């Protein structure tokens, strides 16, 4: 997968896995990484699917409706890529914290739904429930931050609450932060995510 790896000054700090939203690329969230954990190594990945020229991490049938077969395939692809990247770039595979926005948050959530210990933690900004009717692995040691908007037209509040409950039922310590706005990533939401990261890791 096309990606950028930046080695950090603190090899013990979590490696930040950056996962962009629809139409973004591996450069989009790099400024966020500097704000969240300036000493961390960074692995920023571009989605392998194109929707009308816009990079995504998996196909969708229409707005808000995922192509589940492709989601499962692309989640496995990303999971295996993380194994390869850890070997190639010589970092601790078990020390990855995902930071995802929108489509990137959805693929990060899908990793949590499908693969135990794929991530050490995750900061999910405006995620949806990736799949329903599946049994989640144990998330007892996987803290998660969810940033959500009360007026989000893409990820409705009830969907956020459903994801929150599913992750908690799997054992995760979930921090759910609400903004009054829509689907955009705000400075105040980012500030809460940074505080969560610093307290958690």
Distance in angstroms (rounded) separating the CA atoms of residues 38 and 188: 19
DSSP state of 146: E
Q: What does the buried/exposed string (b/e) look like for 1-12 if buried means 16 or more CB atoms within 10 Å of the residue's CB?
A: bebebbebeeee
Q: Give me the count of residues in the chain.
A: 201
In the set 41, 44, 102, 123, the catalytic residue is 102
- Cβ–Cβ < 8 Å for 178, 155: no
Q: How far is CA 192 from the centre of its chain?
A: 16
In the set 79, 89, 177, 183, the catalytic residue is 183
Strand (E) or helix (H) holding 114: helix 103-114
79 classed as catalytic: no
- Cβ–Cβ < 8 Å for 107, 27: no
9 classed as catalytic: no
183 classed as catalytic: yes
- Cβ–Cβ < 8 Å for 136, 169: yes
In the set 28, 41, 123, 152, the catalytic residue is 152
The residues annotated with a catalytic role in the active site are 102, 152, 183
């Amino acid at each position: 997968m096309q990606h950028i790896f930046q080695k950090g000054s603190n090899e013990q700090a979590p490696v930040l896995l950056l996962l962009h939203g629809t139409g973004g690329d591996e450069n989009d969230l790099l400024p966020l990484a500097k704000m969240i954990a300036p000493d961390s190594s960074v692995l920023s990945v571009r989605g392998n699917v194109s929707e009308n020229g816009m990079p995504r991490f998996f196909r969708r049938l229409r707005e808000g409706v995922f192509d589940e077969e492709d989601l499962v395939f692309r989640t496995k692809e990303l999971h295996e890529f993380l194994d390869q990247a850890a070997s190639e770039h010589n970092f601790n595979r078990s020390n990855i914290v995902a930071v995802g926005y929108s489509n990137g948050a959805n693929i990060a959530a899908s990793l949590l739904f499908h693969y135990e210990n794929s991530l050490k933690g995750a900061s999910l900004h405006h995620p949806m429930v990736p799949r329903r009717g599946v049994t989640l692995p144990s998330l007892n040691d996987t803290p998660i931050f969810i940033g959500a908007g009360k007026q989000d037209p893409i990820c409705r509040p009830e969907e956020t609450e459903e994801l929150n409950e599913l992750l908690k039922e799997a054992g995760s310590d979930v921090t759910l932060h609400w903004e009054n706005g829509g689907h955009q990533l705000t400075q105040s939401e980012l500030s809460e995510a940074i505080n969560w990261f610093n307290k958690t890791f």
